[in-house]
Structure formats: C-alpha cells, structure tokens
Structure 1
Amino acid sequence: MAFAQRSITAGTSPGSDPIKVMVVDDAVVIRGLLTRWLGEDKSLKVVSSHRNGKLAVEDIEKSNPDVVVLDIEMPEMDGMTALPLMLAKKRDLVVIMASTLTRRNAEISLKALSLGAADYVPKPESTSEVTTSIDFRRELIEKVKALGARALRMRGPARTMRAETSAGRTAQPVRPISARPATDTRATFRGAAQPAGAAAGAVKYQTRPYSSARPRILAIGSSTGGPQALQEVMREVGTAMNDVPVVITQHMPPTFTAILAEHMGKAALRPSKEGEDGEVLKPGNIYVAPGGKHMIVEKDGGVAKIRLTDGPPVNFCKPAVDPLFDSVAKVFGSASLGVILTGMGHDGAEGVKTIAAGGGSVITQDEATSVVWGMPGAAAQTGVCSEILPLKEIGPKISRVLKGNTR
C-alpha cells in the first residue's frame, strides 16, 4: 500500500457528533467487514450499507450520511453511475471510491475524482487479502475520519469549534477542487503569511524570501486531493517548465502512479512518465515516483539521475516526499523549488526545511483550497516557506519563479 497513516485515532474530538458513514459494496463479506471496522471506531457511525448503487442512491436522504464508501463494480448500478446521483441529492456528501488495483479501476478512480469524489482507497485483490490487510484498514479509517470531520464543519460554528483535524486545526469544507470558488482571499504581511480564508486573529506563519538563484528543478509533493491539484498546477505551468525537470511524489499505489503520470503529461503538454532507476533528468520532462518505491535524485558523472529505492516507508508512506526533497536539496541547492500540495499527514515538512537550509524556495498550498491541510499545513508551520498560496495562484507563481521573477 502506498499510503498509510501513523494511527487510526485522528478525526473528531471527544464529545463531537460521530461521522455518519454509508458502505456500498456488492460483496457481502467485504460489506460486512468494512461495516464492522468502521463501527468499532467511536468517532464513526455506520448508518446504512447496500449491495448496489441504486439502493444507496435511494437511501441517501433517509440515512443522510456524511461519508459514503463506494465500490466501483456492482450489479444493477455501479459506483460511477451512482456517484453523480448521490452528489445531486446531497452537495456536501463526501464520497470515497473503493477499487481493486487494476489499471481499469485506477483509471476509473481518477476519473471519479474529477466528477466530485473526494478520494479513493485501493482494495487488495482478493477477499482474503482484504481481511488481513492492516494497511487497507488503516487507510480506509483515516480517510473516512479526516474527510468526514471536514464535512461536519460545514454544518455550523458549533461543530466547527469541536471538530479538529489530526494537525489540531480547523479546516474548510470538503468539496471537489474543481468546484471551489476562485476567489483570492490570501493575506500577506511583514514577512508572514496567513492562509486563505483565515479569520482575524488566526495563526500567522513566518515566511522567508525566495532564493535569488533561478530554479533548475521543480519538486512537488502531494497526497489526498493531489491528483486534481497537480493537474491544475501542471496545466498552468505548461511550457514554463521547458528549462527544468519536474519530479513529483504523490502518495499512490502502483498502477495508479503510471496513470497519474499520463494525466500530468496531458495537462502540461509535456513528456511525462514514472521515473526509472538510473534515468537522466531532462529539462521539460515530468517524472512521477512509482507506487511502492521511493524516488530520489543523485548526481552521477556530473548529471542528475533518478534513483529508486526499496527501503522502508518514510512517514508511513512509500513513495514519500521527504526523501525526494532531501535529495533535491543536496543536488540542486539554492536552485531548488519545492511545492507542497493538499494531503493528509506531515510528509514533506522535514524536506522543505532541507530545501530552505540549502538556500532553495518552497511554496505551499493554503488551507481554504486544500482538500486536507495536513501536509501543506505542516510545511507552513515550519516557517521556511516563501509563500502560502491558493491553488489557482500556485501554477502562475511557479511559472514566474521558473523564469526568474519572484514577484
């Protein structure tokens, strides 16, 4: 599994309303197992379970779930057909797609994100593997809790005060990135930055100036909500990356990362692929860390090359952002430009400090436009980022910085 959080205790705080969950899966054993796992967590409440999308859609208004765990392949009505019907009935519904690790299902899962699903959870291939997979169980519960807690915050200030993210901060409502308002609510002041949408008196984060060196590499880290955010950033950067290679670590399993690389290429209209061990980095090319491997950059014979390693997970992730950022800082120093986008956890926080210590620059996504402000929030809290920006501003800003303009 490419992504696993440290614990399964994050989510709503004691005394807050439980997150209501609907489970939709045609396999009775899997449906029962997921229902039991979720029901064992006191911050969650399984309000209904169904064997196909049709029954689930009909029950949305009655059960009124906050989160739906939705299987893709089901008889009578599959998950992709049910998804828009569910969202039409409840606009703030969080839908997490569940699918096995096939190329077809990976493509469908990524398409579901563009249609309004909040995230996906890759299921092991067989029922026996599902029942014994600790990583799958952990990831499922973490995502239901993190995304569900954010859904509760949409329901009024009382819940907003009670519900907390695993980072201990309130966050904005969960909506698909494509559906977010394109308003500029960023505020900057005297060497510090305030996340978009932050209220008066909210925490202010220290920032540092951009490097005076023109970047020779762009390194990006992301997780939950990352595929859509990456696509928007790559679309905006486009030909501005002609003179630099782009290396990306997105928390994803094998197969998914290969398809993600294809999507990045289409968005940027640039060559894009999974990184290969020993491959020389070429300007204008995009390299995505393959699922299940850490991707780093090394200098060999005067040229920068990709190295894939099979070491243990870092920050409970594989691939992880920190090893990539650490290696980029070592090879490119002050000519490094790092970006942290939406995601759960804190992967990348140490890496941005390494980039900053080497004289490089870091941009992180703001809270209002992040699906989950875990990774970017942790990066912002280091105080070494150059800017904290709404998603729609990150691509244009990267383009300017790559051209030597940091204004």
Structure 2
Amino acid sequence: MAFAQRNVTAGVTPGADPIKVMVVDDAVVIRGLLTRWLGEDKALKVVGSHRNGRLAVEDIEKSNPDVVVLDIEMPEMDGMTALPLMLAKKRDLIVIMASTLTRRNAEVSLKALSLGAADYVPKPESTSEVTTSVDFRRELIDKVKALGARAIRMRAPVRTMRAETRAGQTSQPSAPTSPAARSNVDTRASFRGAGPQGAVAAPKFKTRPYSSARPRILAIGSSTGGPQALQEVMKEIGTAMNDVPVVITQHMPPTFTAILAEHMGKAALRPSKEGEDGEILKPGNIYVAPGGKHMTVEKEGGAVKIRLNDGPPVNFCKPAVDPLFDSVSKAYGSACLGLILTGMGSDGANGVRTIAAGGGSIITQDEETSVVWGMPGAAANTGMCSEVLPLKAIGPKVSRVLKGSTR
C-alpha cells in the first residue's frame, strides 16, 4: 500500500487553533480508537463522534468540524448517502472516506472523490489489524492534519476579504459588492473548487527551458488529490498520447490502483492497466504502478520494458515516484516529459532532478489548485521544472508538448 509521509505538518501553524475533527463509524471499537488517536495529537480536536451518517449530518452545523472521517458501510445512513448532505451544509468541509481494501469499497471510495470527498484512508480488514497498524494510524493523522490545514488556509483570505467588504460598506454604504468580487470570494472559499482563477498570485520559481527533443514518454507522479487531478489531465491529453506511453505512480494500495487504471482508460479513451513485470511499453497505452510494488522501466534491445520490484518503501511510499522517474530518465534521456501533481510529502523531487540532469522536461502543479502542495511544491523548489501551472492549464500544455510544441 502507499505509506503516508512521516511527521507531516504541512500548513499546521504553531500556536494556531486545533483542527476540528468528526469521526463517523458504526463500529464502536473503531470509532473509539480513531477518536483517541486523533485526540492525542495537539494539532487536532475531536468535536463529534457518531455511529451513522444520519447523526453526523444532523450534527454538522452544531459541531462545525473542519474534517470528517467518514466510514462507508453503516446502518440507517451510509457514508455515500451522508457525503453530499454534509457538503451541502458546509461547502468547505473536508471529508476523508475510510474503507477496507475490497474492490467494492475501492470503487466506492473513488466515486466519493468525484462527489466531493477530499481523500480516503484504506482501513485494515479486521478490528485487531486496525488496532495494531502503525501505518494506518500515521496515514490517518497525517491526512487529517494536511487537508484540515489546507482548508483553514483557504478560508483565511475569505474572512479578510469579507472584513474589508464590511468596512467598505460602512464607509461607502452606496457601493455594493460587485458580482465579480462575490464570485472571487466564493471561488477561494471552496476548497474543492479552487482553480486558476483564484485571486492569490502564484509565487515565482526558478525554471529551466523545455527540452528541444520531442517527448517519447510521459511519466506522472501523484498522491493526495491525485485521482481527481489525473482524471482531468487524462481527459485532455487522450488524443495527444498516440505516439507515447504514459506511466503513472499514484500513492495507492493494491486493488485501488487496478480501479484507478480503469478510470484513467475511460477518461483518456485509451488502453489502461496496471503495469506487469516484463511488459513492453506501447505508445498510446497507460500503465499504472500496482499498489505495494515499485514500478520502473528498463531498456532492453530496441524495446523498453516495465519492471516491478518488492523493495523497501522509498520516501515511505510503495509504489514511489522517484524510482520511476530515475528509470525513465535513464531509458529516454532528453525525450522524457515528467509531471508532478498534487500530493503530500516530497516523493518525486529527486526524480525531477534526475530527469532535468538527463535533459528532460518537468511540469508541476501550482499551489492554488493542489489539494496538498507537498510533492509539487518540493518539485517546484528544485528550480528544475520547466513550468508550474494550475491544473486546468496542465492538460492543454502537456498535449502541446507531446505534439512537439512548447509554446
């Protein structure tokens, strides 16, 4: 499975009010355990604990959580039914789905992301495994902290703008807030809807020119928020990838990666599957690193083949982006295009350096449109990327680069 980064405190401001969390799970032992784990972290405060979705929905306005950890299968009202009702009551609420590693739950979890959930955490199969899983506990807490902090930061400019608006209305009562200003506030208030139209100017980074060589492969790394970002990029570049294979490392556990590959194929209208050891890369095909295995590529004769290995986690992740990027650079050199999308931690940053050293090009997602700006931020700060772009601009740009134009 994918391992969360250790000691994730991105965006958690020392001395700030704790992130408010609600736990929703029908199993009393699990609910109590998650509540205790979260409550022991000083950056977090549990404000609600419920056995089903109905009770949680009824309590949203009173408890006013920043983050909800939501089980999928519950009596009276399950997680998928409760999800849109919660988001209707609090549009910037962060919902993290919790589900066991079954194919059905993996499919439901990915569907939940398309309906507004921010992320998911895969639960071990049994209660005893949950109670002893250090990895599950770490991933849960890290994601709650990273996503909760992001949501709070997104609300801060809105509060400032509203205060400024009220002050302006006090001194100039005849000047109403313009529709454009209201739209801008709404856009920045929405965690899930943040886009390139956001009012905060993106920071400037040192960049390097694109390679003069036309790409012969596209390698993508992503984590938290990645499935949604990948979906948008794949829809855009489907017709542009006829001449290149696409290899993807998304931090995900087994079962989830197989379903992700199916989703990528539907989005791009191209063949897509989990990579298999020894498989020859074919242009126009998408290959997703299977959960629990590192995926790399290797040149052999006139072909490039996929290699899977069961080595130790890299950057606490398995699969990891760095091994894929390193191998792609070795096989393709300056004809490699890398892409880093939203995700926690810094996996991929070393691979970005390797691709750049080999003469290849890298595009990374900007902070404003990233669910978590860990991986893309680390990539941008290497100074080795060719561009740092909002999500909606990435697909069109990748398409042009794949066709031989960097403009």
Letter in 2 for 1:312: P
Pairs within 5 Å for 1:229-268: 229-268=229-268
> Is 1:392 matched up with 2:395?
no
Which residue number in structure 1 is paired with residue 330 of structure 2? 330
Q: Report which stretch shifted further, 297-306 or 219-228.
A: 297-306
Separation in 2, partners of 1:393, 1:369: 11
What is the CA deviation profile of residues 283-321 of structure 1, one whole-angstrom value per residue up to 9, with x for unaligned ones? 000000000000000011221000001000000000000
Describe the SS at the equivalent of 1:149: helix
Pairs within 5 Å for 1:269-288: 269-288=269-288
- Asked if structure 2 preserves the Cα contact closer than 8 Å seen for 1:241 and 1:402, the reply is yes
- Asked if structure 2 preserves the Cα contact closer than 8 Å seen for 1:150 and 1:174, the reply is no
- Asked if structure 2 preserves the Cα contact closer than 8 Å seen for 1:249 and 1:320, the reply is yes
Q: Report which stretch shifted further, 124-133 or 9-18.
A: 9-18
Separation in 2, partners of 1:369, 1:128: 38
Which residue number in structure 2 is paired with residue 295 of structure 1? 295
Name the TM-score, length of structure 2 as normaliser.
Answer: 0.91
Letter in 2 for 1:257: T
Letter in 2 for 1:363: I
Letter in 2 for 1:102: T
Separation in 2, partners of 1:197, 1:338: 26
Separation in 1, partners of 2:303, 2:189: 45
Which residue number in structure 2 is paired with residue 138 of structure 1? 138
Separation in 1, partners of 2:159, 2:126: 39
Q: How many residues align?
A: 380
Question: In 2 relative to 1, CA 379–159 (structure 1 residues): closer, same or farther, beyond 3 Å?
Answer: farther
Which residue number in structure 2 is paired with residue 189 of structure 1? none
> Is 1:365 matched up with 2:381?
no
Which residue number in structure 1 is paired with residue 6 of structure 2? 6
- Asked if structure 2 preserves the Cα contact closer than 8 Å seen for 1:118 and 1:174, the reply is no
- Asked if structure 1 preserves the Cα contact closer than 8 Å seen for 2:91 and 2:190, the reply is no
Deviation at 1:324, TM superposition (A): 0.2
- Asked if structure 1 preserves the Cα contact closer than 8 Å seen for 2:154 and 2:191, the reply is no
Which residue number in structure 2 is paired with residue 98 of structure 1? 98
Pairs within 5 Å for 1:346-357: 346-357=346-357
Letter in 1 for 2:318: K
Give percent identity, aligned residues only.
86
Separation in 1, partners of 2:299, 2:242: 21
Letter in 1 for 2:52: N
Separation in 1, partners of 2:13, 2:405: 44
Which residue number in structure 2 is paired with residue 45 of structure 1? 45
Which residue number in structure 2 is paired with residue 205 of structure 1? 205
Letter in 2 for 1:229: A
Q: Structure 1: any 5+ residue segments left out of the alignment?
A: 161-171, 186-195
Question: In 2 relative to 1, CA 32–326 (structure 1 residues): closer, same or farther, beyond 3 Å?
Answer: same
Question: In 2 relative to 1, CA 181–370 (structure 1 residues): closer, same or farther, beyond 3 Å?
Answer: closer
Q: Structure 2: any 5+ residue segments left out of the alignment?
A: 161-187
Which residue number in structure 2 is paired with residue 309 of structure 1? 309
Separation in 2, partners of 1:74, 1:158: 35
Letter in 2 for 1:293: K
Letter in 1 for 2:138: R
Separation in 2, partners of 1:133, 1:325: 30
> Is 1:175 matched up with 2:191?
yes
Deviation at 1:70, TM superposition (A): 0.1
Letter in 1 for 2:96: I
- Asked if structure 1 preserves the Cα contact closer than 8 Å seen for 2:97 and 2:119, the reply is yes
- Asked if structure 1 preserves the Cα contact closer than 8 Å seen for 2:73 and 2:79, the reply is yes
Separation in 2, partners of 1:356, 1:226: 23
Deviation at 1:158, TM superposition (A): 11
Separation in 1, partners of 2:79, 2:62: 19
What is the CA deviation profile of residues 213-272 of structure 1, one whole-angstrom value per residue up to 9, with x for unaligned ones? 000000000000000000000000012100000000000000000000000000000000
Question: In 2 relative to 1, CA 395–361 (structure 1 residues): closer, same or farther, beyond 3 Å?
Answer: same
Question: In 2 relative to 1, CA 173–252 (structure 1 residues): closer, same or farther, beyond 3 Å?
Answer: farther
Separation in 1, partners of 2:273, 2:24: 34
Question: In 2 relative to 1, CA 23–337 (structure 1 residues): closer, same or farther, beyond 3 Å?
Answer: same
Deviation at 1:159, TM superposition (A): 9.4
Letter in 2 for 1:204: K
Which residue number in structure 2 is paired with residue 164 of structure 1? none
Separation in 2, partners of 1:272, 1:56: 38
Pairs within 5 Å for 1:83-162: 83-156=83-156
Deviation at 1:10, TM superposition (A): 5.0
Which residue number in structure 2 is paired with residue 166 of structure 1? none
Letter in 2 for 1:251: H
Deviation at 1:151, TM superposition (A): 1.6
Separation in 1, partners of 2:190, 2:347: 21
Separation in 2, partners of 1:29, 1:206: 50
Question: In 2 relative to 1, CA 9–371 (structure 1 residues): closer, same or farther, beyond 3 Å?
Answer: closer
Instruction: Point out the structure with max Rg over C-alpha.
Output: 2
Deviation at 1:13, TM superposition (A): 2.3
Separation in 1, partners of 2:272, 2:157: 44
Separation in 1, partners of 2:157, 2:283: 48
Name the TM-score, length of structure 1 as normaliser.
Answer: 0.91
Which residue number in structure 2 is paired with residue 167 of structure 1? none
Pairs within 5 Å for 1:373-388: 373-388=373-388
Which residue number in structure 2 is paired with residue 71 of structure 1? 71
Letter in 2 for 1:223: S
Letter in 2 for 1:198: A
Q: Report which stretch shifted further, 295-304 or 274-283.
A: 295-304
Deviation at 1:181, TM superposition (A): 4.3
Separation in 2, partners of 1:120, 1:159: 28
Letter in 1 for 2:201: A
What is the CA deviation profile of residues 21-48 of structure 1, one whole-angstrom value per residue up to 9, with x for unaligned ones? 0000000000000000000000100011
Deviation at 1:5, TM superposition (A): 1.2
